[in-house]
Structure 1
Amino acid sequence: MALLLIVNHKPMAQSSFAARTFYFLGLGLARLIYRVVVSGRENLPAGGFLLLPNHITWVDAILLQLACPRQIRFIIDEGYYRQGFLHPFLRLTGAIPITPRRAKDAMRAAADAIRAGDIVCLFPEGQLSRSGTLLRLRRGYELISRQAEAPVVPVWLDQLWGSIFSFQGGRFFTKWPQSLPYRVAVAFGRPLRPDEGDIATVREELLKLGEICYSQRSILREHLAFACLRGLKRRAFSTAIIDGMDHSSLSRGKLLGVAVALARHLRQRCPEHRIGIVLPPGKGGVVANLAVVLAGKIPVNLNFTSSREAIVSAQTQAGLKTIISARAMAKRLEEFPWTPEVLHLEEVLPAMKPAIIAWWMLSLAMPAAMVARLLHIPRVGDREEAILLFTSGSAGAPKGVPLSHRNILGNVSQFAALLDSTRNDLIVASLPFFHSFGCTVTLWYPIIDGVRIVTYPSPLEAAKIAALVERY
């Protein structure tokens, strides 16, 4: 297991007094803003080597220096190197300028520095990532490594996508910090000899390091209910759901109030661990799923388009005794094998109106952690079962697929990074929630990340869905 520690940086003893003073003051200030957690420091060779990181933000060099116990010399575009206010500092840190016309000179200087025992850093992508993902690597580093006859060390910078210095949201700088101090993970990989550090190998090693860092993110250990609660608390007055049938809407705060009131009812009335849900995409389906999770139970969205035998098999495997549905669904599904206990939302929710209003107001006034304590929602879910899906049963009886809190929150985090949604974006939620994509992308992701959805009960009516896309 990789060693994790908070770095105590020490500049090289042979640096000049001015350089040591600059590092002491500059990195001391950086530590007030960033908390860098490092793994793999034992992989750093004792002599000179070439450091190859991914490139996410404008401050990657500072974070790498915070993580490394020795001074790093960075290869930097000469246009930035010569800028008036930057030049004295870059010169003081021993940065190596490079231009396309004199690239070989810079590579030669870098190789000489490595042979002299220095750490030289080159960003092999050659540019900042505009998507948070690893870009195509360029070959220049291979020449430096061969000339210096020194190893290359891949290093991964994680959790930086979303910082003010990244391009998340389509812009640099003009956004608020997500937290202070900002937590960053840095993972140093194993050193690669010059003859094995080709582009394919370095890329593979970088992606492996990225996976290691990602698996250690604290959000993956959270409980799905707590993540939903915290997500809905943000921008509580913003729209959460637009019903594509009647175009009514529900705010994020009201959604939380309704779900909490129903969750308390379920906790008192339903002692079983899992609760079935038979509802199409819509406000009712979102409320039911959220309420079951907030009640500390596991939602089981049943595939109501399957055969009666397949549905009975799924109910038996899940041990369902209660199903949440609506009278309209009961009328539509005349042959459906309902459980002995069926809760119809249009009958249950009206009686909860005072509780809904009370919890809506409380959720607006109280921080998420306090609301979670009142509802007995744990902070940690990690690898425990969060939801239960079933296969279609096309090859026999449907098979249960339990998804953990880590599974769901991992997918949500990945979609959030790749889609990079803004407040103006909206997702059409027409896939049923018993579908894995519909469950993750059009249910839990919008709740947690604050993306609006417009629901429609069937994905097969292309013309009506297209009309919703045009309207919204």
Structure 2
Amino acid sequence: MLLASAVLLGVAAVWALAAGVLAYTLGIRFRQALLYVPFKLVYRIRDDATRDARAATAPVIYVVSHQSRIEPALMLSLLPDDTLHILDEASADAHWLDPWRTLARNIVFNAEHVFVSRRLVRVLRGKGRLAVYFPDSVEPDVKSFRLFRAVARIAMQADARIVPIFVGGARHLPSSLTPPKQAPRSWFPRLGIAALAPMTIAELSERAGVAHTTSANAFFDRFAEARLAAAELDGGLFHAMCDAAERFGSSRTIVEDVVTGALSYRMLMTGARVIGRRLEAVSAPGDAVGVLLPNANGLVIALMGLVSAARVAAMVNYTAGPANVASAVKTAEIRVVVSSKAFIEKADLADVVAAIEQAGARMLWLEELRKGVSAPEKAAAALQWHRPLRPQNASKPAVILFTSGSEGTPKAVVLSHRNLIANAMQAEARISISPADKLLNVLPAFHSFGLTGGTILPLLTGVRLFLYPSPLHYKLIPDIARKARPTIMFGTDTFLSAYARTAEDGDFSSLRFVVAGAEPVRQETRRVWRDRFGAEIVEGYGLTEAAPVVAVNTATHNRDGTVGRLLPGIRMRLEPVEGVSEGGQLWLTGPNMMMGYMTADRPGELQPLDGWHDTGDIVSVDREGFLTIRGRAKRFAKIAGEMVSLGAVEMLVQSLWPEEHHAAVAVPDKRKGERIVLVTTAGNADAETLRLYGKQAGVADLMVPHDIVKVGELPVLGSGKTDYVTARRMAIEQLGLAAA
């Protein structure tokens, strides 16, 4: 009896001591600390951000993402005790929460009903504090979004600051409010509390960079930033992958291809360690190692092997032609290129290999690397799959990608681990995906969309990834989709329209949505996918320098003809452009923006990005924050002193001949400086019909091409974008302007 009493007294003393330490370090009351101690010990909570949240000057509204049943207990323990907590009915009725509910005032609120309470405004105006618990949803439905409007209105009336709070990892607790299929459970995950700096609605609207943006949208975007802030960006890609394996299960099937089958996280990382050892022997830490592989398991293994060994994966665009590939090898100072003999033979890339070797790099074949692997080496790798070969640094380069070259010579874009992880987490904070999904990725990994969105994002979020080696197999991909049953697919308008022409109606019926980028999505493509397959195409916008996703439409915020709204954490500004009345040139900054460029004239030398990046795109933004791409700055023609968007010309032509593909290019003109030529697949296109259509549409005559060049198909880059350099050359040659 005495022993039991002593043990209990000892436990109580330790508990009280721990509470005293927490009360002092976090600035909370001793009673709050006593009830917080069990959470702190069990979940190893990172809670530094709560100190700043507590220090926010009243009036303040703490907006908490309600992912599990424990958030109210955590917030009642950590927020100032004069905070009025607005609890949902389940939390208000839960008996286990009784001790925590005594820590501060609380009232019951049914989230199904929108509220604008004068009482709450009075509380705030009296230098009060509120804690409001929002249902956890990346894409809230219309009814749920009304809650954002209501709280934004209260904050505006009381001139209150808003502090978004997100508890990272809470959705995987046994008490999670998310279905287990979408959020696998873990008994003791490590939690991290993210709390953003307090800001008023007016400050949020001004910070958005959009004139007159709605208060609810500015608030919604800030709330999404808290989700991003809770993500771990400083561990590097290798550790992010291991965290995902721990969260979703190391034996979970995560990647699959049409040749070698399915791999679990453990199998994938074991293979990466084996290959990484081989690559260590032929390169030094920080070296750029070329990766010339199709979408397949081997590519992901090689990529993660290089990451584990602290090498930089330089993704070689094998569709760019021997000259551009040789230029890339020299620009990034690549000494070794990893590839597959079987792939080189099937894809007929012998000339590309020759160009690589002429540029001074040697080929390393996966087939030969695999031959020399012994059984003990495999066993050792299997035991240490979760350990990197070299120390990881998230601020160091992870990959090198090359710009598309659609308008000129490609540049090398250097992206850090943090850039890539941030962009994947930004996308997760905007698009509703979960381990219940399966993604079919046909976009090559040398294209930033295919690498980050189509490969890294699913691997870090537990989404099953099905890789297909080429987007150009228009007849085979619908059949693959029918068998693999993906719920998500990425593509470009060119590829999606081609798949639709060869597909049967049920081939893509499993899809929830399709994310399209790289080029504008035509209304005809959108209509076909909606009517035939029941799949919505959500259009986005990105660039290699942004790793790449910048903006995207979602289920909640979707507007045809736009590329959606900015991802969380990205800020923009528009610079005026001479001759452009609507919109301006887009500049961006954010955690996903590249480290910098390497160029052919300064090979191997990183030219760092200095703060803001000039995208070269002309965009307009409406009051809801939706971006519309008006064209590239380089894709404006100056005709008789007037600036004309070639993108707008293409939209005009597209509306007249919607089932065809078109490219508007500018060519020299002795009298006007430049003139527009239409390169089109429309066999019935004629200048007079287009002129009359333009007149009916009310566009200026300068916008209407008088020269039309008809082609069997438009030249396309490997990424799916229109190859404007080649299209312009075709126009000049056919019109006999080569001499000019």
- In 2, distance between residues paired with 1:9 and 1:90? 16
Aligned-pair distance for 1:264?
1.4
Change (3 A) 1:25 1:276: closer
| 2:61–2:161 Cα contact (<8 Å) kept | yes
| More RCO (CA 8 Å, sep 6+) | 1
The match for 2:312 is 298
Matched, 1:348 2:369: yes
Please show how residues 21-420 of structure 1 align to structure 2 within 5 Å.
Answer: 23=32, 25-32=34-41, 33=43, 34-38=45-49, 40-41=52-53, 44-45=56-57, 49-57=59-67, 58-76=69-87, 81=92, 93-97=104-108, 107-114=117-124, 118-123=128-133, 127-131=134-138, 135-141=145-151, 150-160=158-168, 162-164=171-173, 165-169=175-179, 175-177=185-187, 179-180=189-190, 182-190=191-199, 200-201=214-215, 204=218, 207-208=221-222, 211=225, 214-215=228-229, 217=231, 219-229=232-242, 231=244, 235-244=249-258, 246=259, 248-271=261-284, 273-331=287-345, 332-336=348-352, 337-339=355-357, 340-352=361-373, 354=374, 357-366=375-384, 368=386, 371-372=387-388, 375=389, 377-379=390-392, 381-416=393-428, 418-420=431-433
Any idea what SS the aligned residue of 1:402 has?
A: strand
| 2:114–2:147 Cα contact (<8 Å) kept | no
The one-letter code sitting in structure 2 at the alignment partner of 1:351 is G
- In 2, distance between residues paired with 1:305 and 1:235? 37
Matched, 1:7 2:17: no
Any idea what SS the aligned residue of 1:300 has?
A: strand
- In 1, distance between residues paired with 2:381 and 2:265? 11
Change (3 A) 1:66 1:210: farther
- In 2, distance between residues paired with 1:92 and 1:252? 43
- In 2, distance between residues paired with 1:248 and 1:139? 48
Change (3 A) 1:84 1:435: closer
The match for 1:16 is none
| 2:64–2:166 Cα contact (<8 Å) kept | no
The match for 1:14 is none
- In 2, distance between residues paired with 1:183 and 1:395? 44
Any idea what SS the aligned residue of 2:233 has?
A: helix
Change (3 A) 1:155 1:348: same
Q: Decide which moves more: 29-38 or 299-308.
A: 29-38
Aligned-pair distance for 1:154?
0.3
Change (3 A) 1:349 1:204: same
Q: Deviations over 1:201-221 (max 9, x none)?
A: 47536644754773574x211
The one-letter code sitting in structure 2 at the alignment partner of 1:407 is N
The one-letter code sitting in structure 2 at the alignment partner of 1:179 is P
Matched, 1:456 2:468: yes
User: Which structure has greater strand proportion?
Assistant: 2
The one-letter code sitting in structure 2 at the alignment partner of 1:453 is L
Aligned-pair distance for 1:98?
5.5
Aligned-pair distance for 1:36?
2.4
Q: Output the TM-score relative to the length of structure 2.
A: 0.51
| 1:78–1:98 Cα contact (<8 Å) kept | yes
The match for 2:569 is none
| 1:169–1:421 Cα contact (<8 Å) kept | no
Change (3 A) 1:101 1:108: farther
The one-letter code sitting in structure 1 at the alignment partner of 2:281 is Q
Change (3 A) 1:201 1:344: same
Aligned-pair distance for 1:439?
1.0
Q: Deviations over 1:23-82 (max 9, x none)?
A: 565444444454423264486336xx3525143334444333344334211234678657
The one-letter code sitting in structure 1 at the alignment partner of 2:171 is G
Any idea what SS the aligned residue of 1:262 has?
A: helix
- In 2, distance between residues paired with 1:326 and 1:88? 63
Any idea what SS the aligned residue of 2:408 has?
A: coil
Q: Deviations over 1:357-393 (max 9, x none)?
A: 434433443473xx33xx2x214x2222110000121
| 2:270–2:382 Cα contact (<8 Å) kept | no
Aligned-pair distance for 1:291?
2.1
Q: Deviations over 1:132-187 (max 9, x none)?
A: 779454554577668xx84312011124463435544567998324624x221223
Any idea what SS the aligned residue of 2:279 has?
A: helix
- In 1, distance between residues paired with 2:475 and 2:395? 41
Q: Output the TM-score relative to the length of structure 1.
A: 0.76
Any idea what SS the aligned residue of 1:55 has?
A: strand
The one-letter code sitting in structure 1 at the alignment partner of 2:162 is P
Identity of aligned residues (%): 22
- In 1, distance between residues paired with 2:406 and 2:111? 59
- In 2, distance between residues paired with 1:275 and 1:298? 6
The one-letter code sitting in structure 1 at the alignment partner of 2:160 is V
The one-letter code sitting in structure 2 at the alignment partner of 1:129 is D
- In 1, distance between residues paired with 2:266 and 2:327? 37
The match for 1:15 is none
